[in-house]
Amino acid sequence: MIRLLIYRALMYGACGYALWRGRKDARIVAAVFLIGNFATLALRSSVMGGYSSFEVSIFLIDVACLLAFTYAAMISDRFWPLWVSGLQLTTSFGHVLKAVDYQLLPLAYAASLRFWSYPILIILVVGVWRSQRRLRGGPQATPT
């Protein structure tokens, strides 16, 4: 239960911050993340016994999110959306693993789908924060 509360707080905080202060790329990522999250909740086959079989509806949602995140990365002049897209690609491959090996443990399948949400949200917050800092004329990072 505490894990769910932490996730929800991070999700609403990160996406809210991106929708409020972010540029177009960040707003796309935040909106897609929220829509994907709620679509997954609505279409998941089972809340308690899920992930024992390949979740086609969640796979389609994750692929749609991957395409949208990739679009955001392509229109952006920043690097962080590429990380988001890459992590979503990793999530999508979790489905491929389950489709190839139907005996994959449900816990491993669930972990492969859920884990990358946290880094995606953290990258979103850092990307928006750095963008805001750049706009205010704060100290710029020197390339190494």
Task: Please give the Cα distance from 38 to 112 (Å, whole number).
Answer: 18
* pLDDT of 128 higher than 90: yes
Judged by average pLDDT, the poorest of 43-57, 60-74, 82-96 is: 43-57
Q: What is the mean pLDDT of residues 63-90?
A: 97
pLDDT level of residue 1 (50, 70, 90 thresholds): confident
Q: What count of other Cβ atoms lies within 10 Å of the Cβ of residue 144?
A: 3
Tens of pLDDT, residue by residue over 7-42, are 999 999 999 999 999 999 999 999 999 999 999 999
Amino acid 136: pLDDT = 87
Amino acid 28: pLDDT = 98
Buried residues in 12-45 as b, exposed as e (16+ CB within 10 A): eebbebbeeebbebbbbbbebbbebbebbeeeee
Q: What is the mean pLDDT of residues 116-142?
A: 87
* pLDDT of 143 higher than 60: no
Global pTM value:
0.88
Task: Please give the Cα distance from 91 to 110 (Å, whole number).
Answer: 10
Amino acid 144: pLDDT = 46
The domains of the chain are located at 15-131
Q: What percent of the chain has pLDDT over 70?
A: 92
pLDDT level of residue 54 (50, 70, 90 thresholds): confident
Which position has the higher pLDDT, 107 or 13? 13
